[in-house]
Amino acid sequence: MVAPTAAARIRQRAVALGFEDARWATVSPLEGAERYEAWLAAGMHGGMDWLATAEARERRADPTRLLRDVRSVVCVALCHSPRRDESRDLRLGRIARYAAGDDYHALMKEKLGSLADFVEHEALPGSRALWYSDTGAILERGWAERAGLGWIGKHSGLLSQTLGSWFLLGELLVDRPLEADLPLARERCGACTRCLDICPTRAIVAPYRVDARRCISYLTIEHRGVIPRELRSAIGDWVFGCDLCQEACPWNRFAPEARDARLQGRALDGWTLERFLTLDADAFDRLFAGSPIRRAGRDGFLRNVCVALGNRGERASRPALERALRADPSWLVRAHAAWALGEILPVEPPESSPVLLEARAFDVSETVREEADQALKRVGRSTDTSRV
Ligand code: B12
Ligand code: SF4
Ligand code: SF4
């Protein structure tokens, strides 16, 4: 039998380690597994193929595939900063709050690893506790909802009355039962539809259902290729992730501050969107060492920067974009630089687009030539290349 104080001690230790909350759920089939299957069947995972493998699906449906004899799932919430620095956003474009500081995966490793140790050696000696956060084949929101950390909002994120939604999730799978769960959080979205209404790409296709292929977070972080042209303008100046559906949520008005200073946004003094375009692969890795932004990769991030500059439409950005279109080693970056120039040039005299003409005629990549052609059409130039 489990000592009745074990769960309370785990919760206390979790809070001491810097988590805002910790709750636990009993293991039995999760409603979320069916929702997950339906989401995959509709193709809403886009290019995130690792989510759809047979192994990933089986593990999500059955956590005993992760830890045989698992009896409890302890779910924790780690708050990141709820604030944005507007002057920084002006310089760098908008970065999702969770990603503006150090990589939370490293913090989870430290804190959850320590909590797992505590469970195995002190709270439940001889037990096994495995920790997960984000990258594991586990339905994190579904378990957190079951554990009573909060409810699933219409934007599909987990939120709570006391924490809002600016927090990340982590879990411990434990092979021992814990005492009765704490009461569940009541669903409090009511008739509100603010998150659906604000989403600029209409990615929340129905309450609780996000089509990742349209979500700015997916397009700027996980998506590896060209950003669909019809979605580019709606991305605005988000260069990594998107927070709009959470910003619109009334429950975030009183969200707490991050307790761990490593989750506060980095200043990146001296950097601007235009200067990001000078980053080569090594410089990118150095600048974003320990930051979630590395996930997008150098080419993906610079692609996003071009889209943001195109959407801002400022003439002062043109030299940086022209340099990128002429000389960037990545066709992906050149293609989006061409698009961005097409968004900026309409306010310029037509003869000021030689770089686009050159790219349309001579770039080795067909995609870049096509983007340059489209951009030139937008700026009203003839498609005649003889003047290059
Ligand atoms: C793939 C993924 C993405 C994809 C797809 C997101 C999505 N909504 O499915 C993309 C790249 C778009 C993404 C974006 C973001 N993500 Co993400 N992502 C994941 C990941 C790896 C898997 C999510 C998944 O399985 N999606 C498939 C859907 C079907 O499952 P689900 O998200 O669990 O969805 C729940 C609801 O859809 C619900 N549901 C479905 N139908 C119905 C119907 C009803 C009636 C109800 C009540 C519920 C319901 O059921 C599911 C739970 O059981 C998880 C980590 C993990 N291993 O779980 C992180 C995770 C969900 N992401 C997270 C974060 C922070 C984000 C962003 C906020 C980052 C940002 N600022 O840019 C955005 C938010 C976008 C959004 N509105 O969801 C956090 C969420 C924390 C929280 N408080 O909820 C997680 C848990 C990572 C972590 N460890 O903290 N993400
Ligand atoms: S993160 Fe942005 S794009 Fe994605 S669902 Fe929310 S508001 Fe829409
Ligand atoms: S914005 Fe409204 S509908 Fe969306 S999650 Fe928040 S309370 Fe729920």
Per-block mean pLDDT, blocks of 10 residues, the chain (388 long)? 75 97 94 95 98 97 95 97 94 98 97 98 97 96 95 97 97 93 83 98 98 98 98 98 98 94 95 98 98 98 98 96 98 98 74 86 98 89 45
How far away, in angstroms, is 218 Cα from ligand 2 center? Answer: 9
Residues in contact with 322: Cβ distance below 8 Å, sequence separation at least 6, in sequence order: 337, 341, 355
How many CB atoms sit inside 10 A of residue 340's CB?
A: 28
Nearest-atom number in ligand 3 for the CA of 245 is 1
- The pLDDT assigned to 352 comes to 64
How far away, in angstroms, is 208 Cα from ligand 1 center? Answer: 10
- The pLDDT assigned to 347 comes to 55
Nearest alpha-carbon partner for 136 in 246, 55, 17, 36: 55
Q: Does residue 245 line the site of ligand 1, with CB under 6 A?
A: yes
How far away, in angstroms, is 211 Cα from ligand 2 center? Answer: 9
Report the Cα 370 to chain-centroid distance in Å.
30
Task: Based on the residue annotation, tell me whether 175 is a catalytic residue of this protein.
Answer: no
Active-site residue, from 134, 197, 280, 285: 134
Q: Does residue 324 line the site of ligand 3, with CB under 6 A?
A: no
| Full set of structural domains in the chain with CATH | 1-259 (no CATH), 268-388 (1.25.10.10)
- The pLDDT assigned to 184 comes to 78
Q: Does residue 92 line the site of ligand 1, with CB under 6 A?
A: no
Q: Which residue's CA is minimally distant from atom 30 of ligand 1?
A: 36
Q: 23 forms bridges with which residues in the sheet? A: 75
Pocket-forming residues, ligand 2, beta carbon under 6 Å: 155, 199, 201, 203-204, 210, 215-217, 242, 244-245
Residues in contact with 88: Cβ distance below 8 Å, sequence separation at least 6, in sequence order: 265, 267, 268
How far away, in angstroms, is 236 Cα from ligand 2 center? Answer: 12
Whether the pTM exceeds 0.75: the reply is yes
